Structure 1
Amino acid sequence: MFKKNKFRKSIIALMIALTCSISLTSGAGAAQAASQINSYQDNKLNLDVKSAIAIDANSGQVLYAKNANKTLPIASMTKLITIYLTLEAIKNKTISWDTKVEPTSEIVKVANNLEYSNVPLKKGHLYTVRQLYQATLIESANGAAMCLAQAVSGSQVAFVKKMRAQLVKWGIKDAKIYTVCGLPNGNLGKAAYPGVSKNAENTMSAVDMAIVGQKLLAKYPEVLKTTKIAHMNFKDGNSNTTMINFNWMLKGLSQYDSSLKVDGLKTGTTDAAGACFIGTIKKNGGRLITVVMGAKHADGTDPSRFVQTKKLLNYIYANYTPVVLSKNTKINNHETMKVIDGQALSIPIGLNKKTTLWDPVDGKKLSSSMKYSSVEAGVAKGQIVNSYRFKSGSTKLISIDNPKQMEVQAKALQGTNKANIFVRIWRWIIGKE
């Protein structure tokens, strides 16, 4: 009996040791992968910001990163989450563009505080969701963003909880969100998030902020029709408020550069955050998303965040060549894939969607490999069956979804049913499988 118990304890101890070993190895792998993004190519560009990242909007390929995993205040970049959830509500028909919203007394106080970016809202007046949406994106109007939250969820607190839940769905788990507009919690007066310090601010990493931009552009690309507007009037009865976009890189504004035609997305500024900017640009067939956080902000005329964004964009265009691959493209040497027990022994495969690869300008050849060598029958046409992986020389391309090596989905360009038992037996007999 003693020997039996001793043996059992030894087995349990061994299992625990193996489990711990696997967990530690897995954790170390995750940490190593995260660190690859955090400082990717940061020694090649001296950006004067606390953190930054540049990715391809479609594939998520990481092209540059500086302290990209560091959690920092995001200020009004927060509003992109608010805009996403507003567009979701419109899509789901819980509100419409013409839904009218009356601001609460708390919102009116925020909207008329000249220390914040705003359009003045009035008690007893009604504003359409369209007006509020435009004011939020163009003028970065805090009161307008709060009105959108009220329209969607009925209260600021309920909407904040909705924001948090959405971020978790996107895999963003270390964000801290307290306000729908990005102001410090105490600046919202009675609309502040309860039980939290008045100094509490929304915080995320540059990686996470890039994910927000990527998700927004993927599902609601029409947002660019508004984010690219430099000037617009906000009409309230007989009065007009001229809105000027805080993204000074737009045409007609002070930091416009005809070679860098940025068309979005959102700035953010608080004392704690410094000057922040998540931008996007389409050029040479590819769309980029850039994030700079904690740039200098000497005063309201300081263009530092845009100067640093230009520096980042020029670095990308000088050091990468975009290779645009159309949907259904077959990758050389990986045009087909073996099918196990299929009526067809192999099927043609190709890219699931249009993809831009940014090939480093390093004189090395861009090459690819497949994640899987075969697939089980039956296979439907259009089914995702594999992933392509890419390298430049021996250097793996990485993405925010796959920090160890970027993967691009491949689909079946032709389907095949499972072969019947007699065919499978015959193949086994003749050695043709």
Structure 2
Amino acid sequence: MNRYKQLSIFVVVFLLSLTTLLSGFVQNVNAAEDELGLSAEAAILLDADTGKILYEKNADVVLGVASMAKMMTEYLVLEAIHDGKITWDQPVRINEYVHRLSAAPGLSNVGLTQGEDYTVEELYQAMAIHSGNAATVALAELIGGTEKNFVELMNAKAEELNLQDYKFVNSSGLNNSSLLGNHPAGAPDEENVMSARATARLAYRLLTDYPEVLDTASQPRLPFRDGKTYDNFNFMLPTLIHEYPGIDGLKTGSTNFAGYGFTATAKRGDQRFISVVMKAETRDIRFSETAKIMNYAFSNFKKEQLFDENYQIKGKETVPVTKGKEDQVQIQTEEELALTIKNGEKEAYKPKLVLDKEKLNEDGELTAPIEKGETIGYVTVEHENGEDIRFLTQDGHKQIQIPVTAAESVEKANWFVLSMRGIGGFFGDLFSTVASTVKGLF
């Protein structure tokens, strides 16, 4: 073997070894980034009360969302109910297209008879419990006039809710190619897409704005007027095969493009979490991944009261005051602050006082008069290691900004007192100047 062949073999072996080493390194980095070791393409976990993010994996990757898109349809239906645009007992007549779609093979549906009237409530239950696609289209047509118009409402609402990573092309989450020749928006074979973060934002707003969504989403079965009883596709509900303590919503989804996804919510005691799993390989895996996330949540996090109402930060109990009868004012928080944090980390969260700069002069003083209860800033918390406290929305950060108010009133001093202080200050400054000058002579 000549020298060049030996060198070539050495280079190949070296490169293969380096590739293996780097591959192992990348895998270790990914494993370190994903502390739960999920196989799903993307996932996120948050505290349902504040939207505080507790875990995420590839949360900004845009993926197929399948029937989880029905959460947006649910949102718009509930909004229309609240706004008085439609009512639960309002009849909806089934047209030929909706009837044919309800009978299409391979799709989740309840049977809907052409020419027959169904109430909004019946169609909503079919959509929310058994993920009925034709029922979803019927509701979309009711609210939007056409499904195309409704899809425009979906995208407009997504922008309003600041979902950021999304595109809705139909109301149901099906591939457009499954809609019997109809495609309300997008290409003939396009699907709705969102990121895990956008999906979580939608679920968070749905639960926050319309908590009654769980009244329906928590029902494990739907007895329907066609004489059949349909299971909820959320098999983690009570009495179903993947039952998990505390799960009471929210929406599953699956297509060939999207894989298997699940937006879940669970509550135990006063603690509620929301999780999203996207593009799992199988139906069962999406539930086992969700169970893994929820186990992590309930085992590692709890709501802790970080400080009480009327709390004062040590060393910052007062703020200096100018032109007042007193030269300082006591300050305190208006309410308590509770936050979902990792177990054992309560002492790691430190209070931070932020005063309203518009109420301070150049010397950092408040100007009298000051009324008791007047807001002069807020107290928030920071992690001692500088770790970000991440929230799903900007409003989340405001939830850990507790107003700080004056604990007492400070009246403005009268003109005579202010004059005497001015004179005293003048002579004080003059004496200091003279003293310094005399001292300099010696």
What TM-score range do you get, normalising by the shorter chain? 0.7 to 0.9
CA distance in 2, matches of 1:186, 1:414: 63
Over 3 Å counting, the alpha-carbon distance change for 1:190 and 1:375 in structure 2 is same
Partner of 1:348: 332
**2:342 corresponds to which letter in structure 1?**
D
CA distance in 1, matches of 2:168, 2:231: 27
**1:181 corresponds to which letter in structure 2?**
S
CA root-mean-square deviation? 3.6
- 362, 365, 368: which is aligned to 2:351? 368
Over 3 Å counting, the alpha-carbon distance change for 1:323 and 1:150 in structure 2 is same
Offset at residue 330 of structure 1 (A):
4.7
- 159, 168, 175: which is aligned to 1:177? 168
Over 3 Å counting, the alpha-carbon distance change for 1:90 and 1:44 in structure 2 is same
CA distance in 2, matches of 1:91, 1:342: 52
CA distance in 2, matches of 1:183, 1:316: 31
Q: Could you list the runs of 5+ residues in structure 1 that have no partner in the other structure?
A: 1-38
Over 3 Å counting, the alpha-carbon distance change for 1:209 and 1:41 in structure 2 is farther
Mapped pair 1:231 → 2:221: yes
Mapped pair 1:333 → 2:325: no
Q: Could you list the runs of 5+ residues in structure 2 that have no partner in the other structure?
A: 1-29, 360-365, 426-442
Partner of 1:409: 401
CA distance in 2, matches of 1:92, 1:305: 35
CA distance in 2, matches of 1:201, 1:265: 20
Mapped pair 1:358 → 2:341: yes
1:258-269 aligned at under 5 Å gives the runs 260-269=245-254
Over 3 Å counting, the alpha-carbon distance change for 1:349 and 1:220 in structure 2 is same
CA distance in 1, matches of 2:246, 2:128: 18
Structure number with greater Rg is 2
1:338–1:375 contact (8 Å) kept in structure 2: no
Over 3 Å counting, the alpha-carbon distance change for 1:95 and 1:394 in structure 2 is same
1:340–1:375 contact (8 Å) kept in structure 2: no
CA distance in 2, matches of 1:294, 1:261: 24
Partner of 1:400: 392
SS, match of residue 402 in structure 2: strand
**2:273 corresponds to which letter in structure 1?**
L
Query: Identity of aligned pairs, percent?
Result: 29
Offset at residue 280 of structure 1 (A):
0.5
Larger CA deviation: 58-67 vs 398-407: 398-407
Partner of 2:192: 202
1:341–1:418 contact (8 Å) kept in structure 2: no
Q: TM-score, normalised by structure 2?
A: 0.76
CA distance in 2, matches of 1:164, 1:380: 47
**2:196 corresponds to which letter in structure 1?**
A
CA distance in 2, matches of 1:349, 1:40: 42
Offset at residue 178 of structure 1 (A):
0.3
CA distance in 2, matches of 1:87, 1:103: 20
Offset at residue 385 of structure 1 (A):
5.0
- 259, 264, 286: which is aligned to 1:305? 286
Over 3 Å counting, the alpha-carbon distance change for 1:392 and 1:222 in structure 2 is farther
Offset at residue 419 of structure 1 (A):
6.9
Offset at residue 240 of structure 1 (A):
1.8
**1:333 corresponds to which letter in structure 2?**
I
CA distance in 2, matches of 1:348, 1:363: 21
**2:247 corresponds to which letter in structure 1?**
V
Q: How many residues align?
A: 381
CA distance in 1, matches of 2:372, 2:154: 37
Offset at residue 145 of structure 1 (A):
1.1
SS, match of residue 240 in structure 1: coil
Q: TM-score, normalised by structure 1?
A: 0.77
CA distance in 1, matches of 2:272, 2:374: 25
CA distance in 1, matches of 2:208, 2:94: 31
**2:192 corresponds to which letter in structure 1?**
N
2:329–2:406 contact (8 Å) kept in structure 1: no
1:390–1:407 contact (8 Å) kept in structure 2: no
1:389–1:406 contact (8 Å) kept in structure 2: no
Partner of 1:243: 230
Over 3 Å counting, the alpha-carbon distance change for 1:381 and 1:330 in structure 2 is closer
CA distance in 1, matches of 2:340, 2:376: 19
Over 3 Å counting, the alpha-carbon distance change for 1:402 and 1:243 in structure 2 is same
**1:410 corresponds to which letter in structure 2?**
I
Partner of 1:274: 259
2:356–2:376 contact (8 Å) kept in structure 1: no
CA distance in 1, matches of 2:302, 2:168: 37
CA distance in 1, matches of 2:395, 2:281: 29
Partner of 2:382: 390
Mapped pair 1:296 → 2:281: yes
**1:366 corresponds to which letter in structure 2?**
Y
Partner of 1:157: 148
Offset at residue 314 of structure 1 (A):
1.3
**2:203 corresponds to which letter in structure 1?**
G
**1:78 corresponds to which letter in structure 2?**
A
